[in-house]
Structure 1
Amino acid sequence: MRVALVHDWLVTMGGAERVLEEFARLFPEAPIYTGVVIPERLSPLLRSHPIIPSFVQHWPGARRRYNRYLPFLAYAFEQFDLSGYDLVLSSSASVAKGVLTRAETAHVSYIHTPMRYAWDLYPRYRDQEAKGLTRRLMGPVFHWLRLWDRMSADRPDVLIANSRTVEARIAKHWHRRSYLIWPPVDVDRIGLSREPGEYYLVLSRLVGYKRVDLAVAAATRARLPLIVAGDGPDLPRLRRMAGPGVRFLGRVDEATRVALLQGAKALLFPGEEDFGITPVEAMAAGRPVIAYGRGGVLDSVEPGVSGVFFREQTVEDLLTAVEAAEALEWDRDRIRAQAERFRPQRFREELTRVIEGALVAKGLRPG
């Protein structure tokens, strides 16, 4: 059986790329089709596969500003010739689901989210983050992208959502049903820590919708010790608003990331995410999560057992949640048990069952 893997773009190793790694483990000979690739930023596992980028790879600045070429990437994915494959497995938060396949091909698409910047977060991107010519062009360009996104969502035979939140978005924006399979999280690499933590922690890319500013403002007001690990365009603004108890570490390596999780009092997670792997990693270390109570954390964090939710994205609500967390006696083993539900083995087993069902529906033999 010939298998092709498809992914939006390969420019960093984030949660979506960890999902793609599991695809690659299931199908070690499969090539990977993608919009743009920066090979030196990828894991050895992904680099071991043949990687076929789109024609956008060779356009000026595509490695750094690939998202500026989004309408062209939608077209570019339609140009891949996947006619020789029996199974196409796509990992999509944007355009990867839009590849063209034969009627006889089984196409299973793992959806990290419908395009946030075209649907749920469109007003925020347009009014708060887009500037100049980009802002003026967003209206007509994103109108076309929404039409393409809805149309291309009909191309996969099977859709898989990574959380109940994404499952609801798929039903709302695309009018399709989906399976729910939570992403894989390598909890075994994070040891359980029973020592009391010394600081609150944010591990995040520093971009506006992550709402790291809430954590920084709350820590500054209440004089809480806070470590912010991560980099991004919001860093200068966050530094300006931070008090003396807030430390910025920039981008950290994997060993430092694990040590920070193990030494924290709690993870602060003030943004809304499609799923959110970092909260699961914090729970693997036995650390509670103080999170905005929307999005993927509703699937992973159990209030009073492994974390506390706040309902409004305000400094006051976040500080109230911090006070509630400090008043609770946390059972580190129960917190760890919450994280162990997301082991990669569980992901592979559930994904394999869905793939086998899609193949049988096409008259193909799994394996």
Structure 2
Amino acid sequence: MKGKGKLRVAIVHHWFVTRGGGERVAECIASLFPEAEIFTLLTDGPGVPDGLRDRPIHTSFLQKIPMARRYHRHMMPLYPAATECLDLRGFDLVITSDSGPVKGVRLGEGAVQICYCHSPMRYLYDGFEAYRSKMGALTRAVFSATAGRVRRWDLRAAEKVTFFIANSNYVARRIERIYRRESRVIHPPIDLHRARMVDAPGEHYLSAGRLVGYKRTELMIEACGRMVRKLRIAGTGPEEKSLKSLAGNADVEFLGEMSTEALWQEYANCRALLFAADEDFGMVPLEAQACGRPVIAYGAGGSLETVQGDGASPTGVYFSEQTVESLMEGISRFELVDAAGTFIPSVIQSRAAEFATPVFLRRLREFVLEKVPEAAGAMASDSALDLV
């Protein structure tokens, strides 16, 4: 670590292929260090956040492999080699935004790595069998043959991390269990400035996010179908075709990929958001709450930290199991509570404000300065961060 002058800072994110919570975190970290260099395994145009479009982004050899961007999750056997080709020797402070391999980048002697961990790779640890069981025969064979090697590499890569930050208490416990490391919890940032509320929300329910298996969108379709409730689904993904087939003649509308502004308007217009995933954190419930709308959430994982399902000022209700019957019970309970006027939009919005972008930036700044005081000269001013 340099004793004089401005530190050289690098920011590494696993990939910029789709836009989600992880990409928003990386964008905010980069705003804190306006002169930092950005590294990633690969990028795809729409996946690059607006705040990074004018900054050079260094990629790995995966960027040159045909179809790698479309099938980036199938590139797992190559993650270690691709990560190690990102040579960050010469940088004093490296901040990794990681839900996969990039904490294993090559570092120079004396460099400090702060890893903002979205989650240890679920498909290598807790979710190994669940992910494996849904693969085709060829993919499953390759995955089974290589997962052990990548898992061992990931555990060694975690040893390169100087300080861990977890995106939730849920993930902090997983970091402790898997990597045997302590971490500081700093929740991800919510774009509260995009929030809006309407005087008369609709009577329909909303599901939002990638249409992938672990989101359990099929539970929402079946529950709303049985209860004869209207459901609008925002997002696309590999499960879309099968979900449309499942919906049949039910009152379900697939909205497809939406602009950011259109999605936030959907949050504001719904009666409530349905959220059936066991997420490490989950930004969608907070975005809905930012618009004053309550959430019917599976009571596990990050939802327990973002949705207040109990107490005097609830922002939603929990259902206890990832089953259609449990979700239906949650919807029925929500409708009873809602009819009693218990959910107050301004109170719900104030819950989301606890996770606003300025809160994230302030806490991250404080953490970095606590651990690496020399980083002060490389950080943006407070006034500049007000614009993020």
TM norm structure 1: 0.96
Query: Which letter maps to 1:321?
Result: G
Shift of 1:73: 2.1
Shift of 1:348: 0.7
**Does 1:67 pair with 2:77?**
no
Q: Tell me, yes or no, if the aligned pair for 2:92 and 2:112 is still in contact at 8 Å.
A: yes
Where does residue 52 of structure 1 map in the other structure?
58
Aligned positions of 1:27-106 closer than 5 A: 27-106=33-112
**Does 1:353 pair with 2:366?**
yes
SS at 1:345 equivalent:
helix
SS at 1:366 equivalent:
helix
Where does residue 27 of structure 2 map in the other structure?
21
Query: Which letter maps to 2:348?
Result: I
Work out the CA distance in 2 between the residues paired with 1:247 and 1:207: 17
Where does residue 235 of structure 1 map in the other structure?
240
Residue from 315, 328, 335 that aligns with 1:319: 328
Q: Which moved more, 1:46-55 or 1:78-87?
A: 78-87
Query: Which letter maps to 1:279?
Result: P
**Does 1:334 pair with 2:347?**
yes
**Does 1:161 pair with 2:166?**
yes
Q: Tell me, yes or no, if the aligned pair for 2:19 and 2:46 is still in contact at 8 Å.
A: no
Residue from 110, 117, 120 that aligns with 1:111: 117
Change (3 A) 1:315 1:117: same
**Does 1:221 pair with 2:215?**
no
Identity among equivalent positions (%) equals 39
Q: Tell me, yes or no, if the aligned pair for 1:194 and 1:332 is still in contact at 8 Å.
A: no
Work out the CA distance in 2 between the residues paired with 1:208 and 1:40: 22
Shift of 1:55: 1.1
Query: Which letter maps to 1:158?
Result: F
SS at 1:259 equivalent:
helix
Instruction: Give a deviation string over 1:249-284, Cα, whole Å, max 9, x none.
Output: 111111211111111010000111111111001101
Number of residue pairs aligned between Structure 1 and Structure 2 = 363
Query: Which letter maps to 1:161?
Result: A
TM norm structure 2: 0.91
Shift of 1:365: 5.4
**Does 1:244 pair with 2:236?**
no
Query: Which letter maps to 2:227?
Result: A
**Does 1:303 pair with 2:309?**
yes
Residue from 139, 154, 157 that aligns with 1:152: 157
Runs of 4+ in 1 over 4 A off after TM superposition: none
Residue from 256, 269, 275 that aligns with 2:281: 275
SS at 1:117 equivalent:
helix
Residue from 123, 132, 137 that aligns with 1:126: 132
SS at 2:197 equivalent:
coil
Q: Tell me, yes or no, if the aligned pair for 1:108 and 1:358 is still in contact at 8 Å.
A: no
Q: Tell me, yes or no, if the aligned pair for 1:100 and 1:155 is still in contact at 8 Å.
A: no
Query: Which letter maps to 1:140?
Result: A
SS at 1:342 equivalent:
coil
Work out the CA distance in 1 between the residues paired with 2:166 and 2:235: 27
Q: Tell me, yes or no, if the aligned pair for 2:18 and 2:46 is still in contact at 8 Å.
A: no
Residue from 325, 343, 360 that aligns with 2:356: 343
Q: Tell me, yes or no, if the aligned pair for 2:37 and 2:56 is still in contact at 8 Å.
A: yes
Where does residue 183 of structure 1 map in the other structure?
188
Shift of 1:40: 4.7
Where does residue 141 of structure 1 map in the other structure?
146
Instruction: Give a deviation string over 1:309-359, Cα, whole Å, max 9, x none.
Output: 111111111011111111112111111111000011111111111111221
Where does residue 366 of structure 1 map in the other structure?
376
Query: Which letter maps to 2:142?
Result: L
Q: Tell me, yes or no, if the aligned pair for 1:30 and 1:50 is still in contact at 8 Å.
A: no
Query: Which letter maps to 2:76?
Result: L
**Does 1:257 pair with 2:263?**
yes
Change (3 A) 1:149 1:303: same
Work out the CA distance in 1 between the residues paired with 2:152 and 2:215: 27
Shift of 1:232: 0.9
SS at 2:254 equivalent:
strand
Instruction: Give a deviation string over 1:178-208, Cα, whole Å, max 9, x none.
Output: 0000000011211133424320000011111
Q: Tell me, yes or no, if the aligned pair for 1:206 and 1:231 is still in contact at 8 Å.
A: yes
RMSD of aligned residue pairs (Cα, Å) = 1.3
Shift of 1:299: 0.8
